[in-house]
Amino acid sequence: QVQLVQSGAEVKKPGASVKVSCKASGYTFTSYGISWVRQAPGQGLEWMGWISAYNGNTNYAQKLQGRVTMTTDTSTSTAYMELRSLRSDDTAVYYCARDQLGYCSGGCAFDIWGQGTMVTVSS
Amino acid sequence: DIQMTQSPSSLSASVGDRVTITCRASQGISNSLAWYQQKPGKAPKLLLYAASRLESGVPSRFSGSGSGTDYTLTISSLQPEDFATYYCQQYYSTGFTFGPGTKVDIK
């Protein structure tokens, strides 16, 4: 079945970096883009950015520009999200989510979600 | 970025009740709106897209409507498995912002 499986929980110190993976299966990876969405404890959902699994084009949320990098490895059907210079307010569950359509450049609903990866930033 | 608001922020309802949640965008979004359901500790689940189109496998008691800046999600007869938090999301312009959520709990 179509699914996205994410890497496990991480604990990082302030100023460090974290890289979360999202492995796709059950569909042609390069046919759909992937967005990353995070959710701080007890809070709502925040879109972080999008990457085309076809050509690697990216579109990042303005507030994260310069701290976030999204990449893909088409040989393993895996998307990655790296966040640098971590702060305590980056503590959140990080989700990857697939574009519902194959040509929407992030501008469409997200139909398949990973299970989430908890990232805790604490000294 | 387009700002999204939802009302109410929470509601208490009984099984069988009709429930309506409203979502408003700070500018017109041309029906580029999705609704998601999230249960505690789980990833969001897509319910509707393009404001009123039901995602495959989603029960028909869920429906959506609206245009321009104002949209609604309606659950025609609330079921026990529907107690959750509901989010709207605009995908009209980058930023792809979510509403703050509406928590539906048991009266």
Of B38, B92, B95, the CB nearest to A47: B95
Task: Confirm or reject contact between B31 and chain A (CB < 8 A).
Answer: no
User: DSSP letters along B91-106, please?
Assistant: -SSTT-PBP--EEEEE
**What is the least distance, in Å, from the CA of A72 to any CA of chain B?**
20
DSSP state, B40? T
Residue B55: pLDDT over 90: yes
Residues B7-36: tens digit of each pLDDT:
999 999 999 999 999 999 999 999 999 999
Query: Above pLDDT 90, what percent of chain A?
Result: 95
Among chain B residues, CA nearest to A61: B95
**What is the least distance, in Å, from the CA of B17 to any CA of chain A?**
25
Task: Confirm or reject contact between B94 and chain A (CB < 8 A).
Answer: yes
- Cβ pair A112, A50 in contact under 8 A: no
Residue A107: pLDDT over 90: no
One-letter amino acid for residue A85 of the chain: S
Count Cα neighbours of B86 within 13 Å in the Cβ-side half-sphere: 29
Residues A25-70: tens digit of each pLDDT:
999 999 999 999 999 999 999 999 999 999 999 999 999 999 999 9
What's phi and psi for A66, nearest 5 deg? 95, -15
Q: Quote the pLDDT of residue B66.
A: 98
Cα(A81)–Cα(A87) distance, rounded to whole angstroms? 16
Among chain B residues, CA nearest to A99: B91
Task: Confirm or reject contact between B103 and chain A (CB < 8 A).
Answer: no
Task: Confirm or reject contact between B8 and chain A (CB < 8 A).
Answer: no
Contacts of A107 in chain B (CB under 8 A): 32, 91-94, 96
Contacts of A47 in chain B (CB under 8 A): 89, 95-98
Instruction: Classify A80 as helix, strand or coil.
Output: strand
A71-79, Cβ contacts within 8 angstroms, sequence gap of 24 or more: A72/A29, A72/A34, A74/A29, A74/A30, A76/A23, A77/A23, A77/A24, A77/A25, A77/A29, A78/A21, A78/A22, A78/A23, A78/A24, A79/A21, A79/A22, A79/A24, A79/A34, A79/A51, A79/A53
Tell me the average pLDDT of chain B. Answer: 97
Q: Quote the pLDDT of residue B93.
A: 94
Among chain B residues, CA nearest to A44: B100
Task: Confirm or reject contact between B99 and chain A (CB < 8 A).
Answer: yes
Residue A103's Cα: distance from chain center in Å? 18
Cα(B55)–Cα(A100) distance, rounded to whole angstroms? 10
